């Protein structure tokens, strides 16, 4: 992103970007803009200012809201866009994954007669969540329990006893065990999501469904590790779909 020339980027009507969250995430070192990745939001703004898409959607972790960069994005983009932001959780959009993310949405002023962002962009209709048990791939009978360390087994037991379904092995100190009966831990880029009922790591099919992707006709062309990394980095499909619907409805 830093090496390309903005003038060489094709003209676009819709711009969607989830710039790196590691510098701001609670799971990272939280170095912010001291981390080179923490400055890539600048490249996003360059595209918006120069290419002037009709609609843009930017996404990052909730902690980004507490940065000067967040305020700078709003300041720069509000010159030409009806701009607003929202903290949205995937579990409220029909997918049983607890994944809270910050979304910044802008509609170009000359393409809308609205003076403020419509509520649907900030508070889309909350959908009834899919039952988490329906996501379990019971055809995959691989058993990986013996591969866990004694410490992991001990830490995992309270979640199993509480009826947890999908639990992140890297965050077994999380106290919200009861909620994991109905929602999954937030997907990350690491292969650490454990399927308690099947005693194995969650597989690709389960990962896809927890992000709202369809598994019909899916063709995998990379390794499982790379695949999970990509899914963990992606935006939840139903959330993005709802935001796009609201943005398009606001156009003249």
Q: Which residues are catalytic?
A: 21
Tokens matching residue 250: 């606001």
Cα torsion for 26, 69, 89, 213, to the nearest 10°?
Answer: -100
Cβ neighbourhood burial of 57 (10 Å; 0-12, 13-18, 19+): buried
CA dist., res. 74 & res. 64, Å (int): 12
DSSP-assigned letter for residue 62: G
Q: What SS3 state is found at 15?
A: strand
Cα 59 from chain centroid (whole Å) = 8
CA dist., res. 104 & res. 33, Å (int): 19
Half-sphere exposure of 153 (CA within 13 A, CB side): 8
């Amino acid at each position: 992103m830093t090496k390309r020339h903005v003038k060489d980027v094709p003209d676009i009507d819709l711009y969607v970007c989830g710039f790196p969250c590691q510098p701001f995430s609670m799971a990272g070192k939280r170095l912010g803009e001291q981390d080179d990745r923490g400055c890539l939001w600048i490249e996003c703004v360059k595209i918006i200012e120069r290419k002037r898409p009709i609609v843009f959607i930017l996404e990052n972790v909730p902690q980004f809201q507490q940065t000067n960069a967040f305020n700078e994005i709003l300041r720069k983009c509000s010159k030409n866009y009806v701009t607003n932001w929202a903290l949205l959780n995937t579990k409220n959009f029909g997918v049983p994954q607890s994944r809270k993310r910050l979304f910044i949405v802008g509609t170009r002023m000359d393409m809308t007669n609205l003076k403020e962002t419509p509520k649907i962009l900030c508070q889309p209709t909350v959908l009834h969540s899919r039952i988490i048990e329906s996501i379990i791939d019971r055809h995959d009978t691989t058993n990986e329990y013996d591969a866990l360390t004694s410490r992991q087994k001990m830490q995992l037991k309270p979640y199993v006893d509480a009826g947890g379904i999908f639990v992140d092995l890297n965050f077994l100190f999380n106290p919200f065990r009861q909620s994991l009966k109905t929602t999954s831990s937030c997907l990350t880029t690491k292969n650490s999501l454990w399927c308690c009922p099947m005693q194995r790591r969650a597989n690709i099919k389960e990962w896809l469904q927890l992000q709202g992707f369809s598994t019909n006709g899916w063709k995998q062309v990379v390794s499982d590790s790379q695949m999970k990394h990509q899914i963990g980095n992606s935006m939840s499909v139903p959330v993005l779909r709802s935001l796009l619907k609201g943005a398009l409805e606001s156009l003249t």
